[in-house]
Structure 1
């Protein structure tokens, strides 16, 4: 496709986790390694960068207003007026070798976020946690390399989850009432040379869009895991797609900087992109806590 727009030269070190607010008509995303999040109003071009003081792996909207975040130190609520984090759960304590990396909110307002190694101990393994609205935390998947893209089918009966170093997106049966998952199976497995599957989103037709770190592309898969469409991008490390715009038919894509010796070949790395598509996305659920 040739309609990829380069819409913001934000030069993120590790841009991730875009979330469109239908209420505000703005896009939120994080820059993990710069300890901040961004907010963009595409109509006015107003762009805010808000420092938080700790790496944010992913953020989500709350039904009561404001944001919930999964940070290097645990789950926290963000007070925009006071610019302050209030921690509500620290599932891995003060372990300096772990941090949260990606996540999403399910249809019952539970916030799912997973961890990865982020320190000297590269042998640390990640866990996918579920933060319920009552503040309780549940370990849902363990022994993860890098916890990444997560999403649900439009009927909320299937959950998709990415473990990047395995080059695999898996699917689970999802019970919306209880928040439990079962019947793990491989949804997509790709060759290493195509890049690592990273963030993902699901559209209104039940197709899955996955960004490929070190792969310069976003791939749309049908519900059977077959490639339906490929969007080539001018960056080496696209990180995550999200639907936005008035009609949820614009795909926003975050990206990250590659290694120093690769940056000259990819001068737009770390920036934000947008693609007009012929399908609508699904509005993001909000954390009910």
Structure 2
């Protein structure tokens, strides 16, 4: 499978990230991390709304109770888009000014799992945290520079986690009943795929779709780690993807323009846009946070 993605929205995000499709509202959400704003787009009506944030939201998830749960800066927060109310739940990395939360999502049981990064990229000090519906936080793993690529297999028993600068993707055994991860092992390292692993999604067949930073593509890998499909984009800094649409067969892709030179932006004027592709496979509905 070799496809090209089309531009959906020319939003010119500094670093567009973390796309989440709402099955209930049929809307796409994403975050512009350094731009400090969440965004929501309704493909049916074309309505596009921007929500300014007080900090950098690395990732977020929909909540069963309404609104969102967010990993912002060094802590976990809730956000009500109807009222604008923001409340902190916990701050597991409080005091770590050289850290911020980056990539994450809910596990199939409705726990929010998010990883942090070393902003200067000088140390493998990034951690992986689990926020439970009762507000407890639990450390699951560590030892990465930039936590990325978090995803779960369709049965919830396998967890993927990437370290972008190291160009590595790990897998863990994951217990959906307890929310504990174990048996970390290297799954992918470098290889033929362009660029470095960034955010990711898993489809209904259990294949892992990896957005490729400075690779200009999204690559599909089988559970065995075999590259078996690629979607090309006209921009290099591809950050994450999410399945959406009425039948979860549309792949939405976020990109970035942060840090690009004037010459690079002239070559890639659509950098930071939101792109779409129709890969011919179905995704999985994104679990909501039960807290």
Question: What residue is the counterpart of 1:133 in the other structure?
Answer: 133
Question: What residue is the counterpart of 1:25 in the other structure?
Answer: 26
**Is contact 2:4–2:233 with CA below 8 Å preserved after alignment?**
no
Moved over 6 A (4+): none
**Is contact 1:52–1:83 with CA below 8 Å preserved after alignment?**
no
Matches within 5 A, 1:157-236: 157-191=157-191, 194-236=194-236
Q: Distance in 1 between matches of 2:78 and 2:59?
A: 12
**Cα distance 1:192–1:100, how it changes in 2: closer, same or farther (>3 A)?**
farther
Matches within 5 A, 1:1-289: 1-118=2-119, 122-123=122-123, 125-191=125-191, 194-257=194-257, 258-260=259-261, 261-289=263-291
**Is contact 2:78–2:87 with CA below 8 Å preserved after alignment?**
yes
- The CA deviation at 1:77 is 0.4
Q: Distance in 1 between matches of 2:32 and 2:44?
A: 22
**Is contact 2:58–2:102 with CA below 8 Å preserved after alignment?**
yes
Q: Distance in 1 between matches of 2:191 and 2:229?
A: 17
Q: Distance in 2 between matches of 1:2 and 1:184?
A: 33
TM-score by length of 1: 0.96
Q: How many residues of Structure 1 are paired with residues of Structure 2 in the alignment? A: 288
Q: Distance in 2 between matches of 1:244 and 1:77?
A: 23
**Is contact 1:204–1:281 with CA below 8 Å preserved after alignment?**
yes
Q: Distance in 2 between matches of 1:33 and 1:241?
A: 18
- The CA deviation at 1:118 is 2.2
**Is contact 2:73–2:100 with CA below 8 Å preserved after alignment?**
yes
- The CA deviation at 1:94 is 3.1
TM-score by length of 2: 0.95
Unpaired runs of 5+ residues, structure 1, are none
Q: Distance in 1 between matches of 2:63 and 2:204?
A: 22
Unpaired runs of 5+ residues, structure 2, are none
Q: Distance in 1 between matches of 2:87 and 2:75?
A: 10
**Cα distance 1:94–1:83, how it changes in 2: closer, same or farther (>3 A)?**
farther
**Is contact 2:59–2:102 with CA below 8 Å preserved after alignment?**
yes
**Is contact 1:241–1:251 with CA below 8 Å preserved after alignment?**
yes
**Is contact 1:55–1:72 with CA below 8 Å preserved after alignment?**
yes
- Aligned CA-pair RMSD: 1.5
Q: Distance in 1 between matches of 2:184 and 2:138?
A: 18
